[in-house]
Structure 1
Amino acid sequence: MQTRRTMLAHSATVAGLLAGLGLLPQAAQAAYAAAAFEAKSLADVLKALGGAAPVLSGDVTLQGPDIAENGAVVPVGCSTTLPGCKRMLVLVEKNPSALSAIFDVTDAIEASFNTRVKMGQSSNVFAVAMMADGRVLYAQKEVKVTLGGCGG
């Protein structure tokens, strides 16, 4: 019978082996994400992530409410069916930090994600697809917030 303690010990061993082989994310990857999450605008986020100028595209979809009653938990979804998507982003234009979520995508993963974001006020929300060929495509939707969720 496997206990929680032995499971944790085995997990730590496997993580140590993966780290020794260089198969775990490196600290440099965490640094780029930190810079992107500190950015204040769509352009600054894309610059931090090494992306090109974004282009509005019907191939990227953004789902979200027209009116959010509570800005603390606004459900949004982003997706694209285009092949070659390597990263999906969710941004909220008027938040103190524009970037709300990053989803790394491989060919084995369908580029379709749902999450909840916090919004302090009514704002444009962006779903951004960063493609393997360097293109950056986006969709945009205005979400009106009746009760703010980002600070007082």
Structure 2
Amino acid sequence: MDKKRREVLRMTAVLSLMAATGLISEAQAAEWNKAAFEGKSVADVIKSLGGNAAEKSGAISFNAPDIAENGAVVPVAVTSNIPDTEQIAILVEKNPNTLAADFIIPAGTEPFVSTRVKMGQTSVVHAAVKAGGKWYVASKEIKVTLGGCGG
């Protein structure tokens, strides 16, 4: 219970700081998709993001290490070659919260994201892409030698 409280406090602080510095408006901060970040499975997260199911796609380039020496900082990069990409999400199956990151891709911009995610253990990681109202996915197992979620 204490872990959830800390996470809520952390997210509130981050959103407040972003709103205060003008990175996002207060209305955008209030609209973040809490249900998606609380999803416990890939299917739950895709549903919370407005999809029914995700179809496998070879048009998604998903770059991540095969082995992560430190689960606290696992580099992940996703490029979508699917026309009209609207959103890119990164999901880690065995994390306490499956959705690790969610990016809205504005029209006319390159559908590419690069970030670092935290992984508590070896898991399948999914790059989910929303394009034309449908969800597509590419997956990869990443082995973690040192846990990052409290390990």
Bucket of the pairwise TM-score, normalised by the shorter protein = 0.7 to 0.9
What are the superposed Cα offsets for residues 61-98 of structure 1, whole Å, 9 maximum, x if unpaired? 21100000000000001110222111000010100000
Instruction: Identify the residue that residue 61 of structure 1 maps to in structure 2.
Output: 61
Instruction: Identify the residue that residue 134 of structure 1 maps to in structure 2.
Output: 133
Instruction: Identify the residue that residue 9 of structure 2 maps to in structure 1.
Output: none
Instruction: Identify the residue that residue 72 of structure 1 maps to in structure 2.
Output: 72
Aligned residues: 130
Task: Give 4+ residue runs of structure 1 displaced > 6 Å after superposition.
Answer: none
**Superposition deviation, residue 25 in structure 1:** 2.6
Runs (5+) with no aligned partner, structure 1: 1-11
Matches of 2:104 and 2:47 in 1, distance apart?
17
Instruction: Identify the residue that residue 107 of structure 1 maps to in structure 2.
Output: 107
SS at match of 2:28: coil
Matches of 1:82 and 1:67 in 2, distance apart?
28
Amino acid at match of 1:120: G
Instruction: Identify the residue that residue 50 of structure 1 maps to in structure 2.
Output: 50
Q: Check the 8 A contact 1:100/1:117 in 2, yes or no.
A: yes
Instruction: Identify the residue that residue 90 of structure 1 maps to in structure 2.
Output: 90
Matches of 2:34 and 2:73 in 1, distance apart?
22
Give the fraction of aligned pairs with identical amino acids, expressed as a percent: 50
Instruction: Identify the residue that residue 81 of structure 2 maps to in structure 1.
Output: 81
Query: Which moved further from structure 2: 63-72 or 44-53?
Result: 44-53
Distance 1:101 1:84, change over 3 A: same
The root-mean-square deviation of aligned C-alpha atoms, in Å, is: 2.0
Instruction: Identify the residue that residue 11 of structure 2 maps to in structure 1.
Output: none
Matches of 2:45 and 2:64 in 1, distance apart?
21
SS at match of 1:76: strand
**Superposition deviation, residue 52 in structure 1:** 2.4
* Structure showing greater Rg: 1
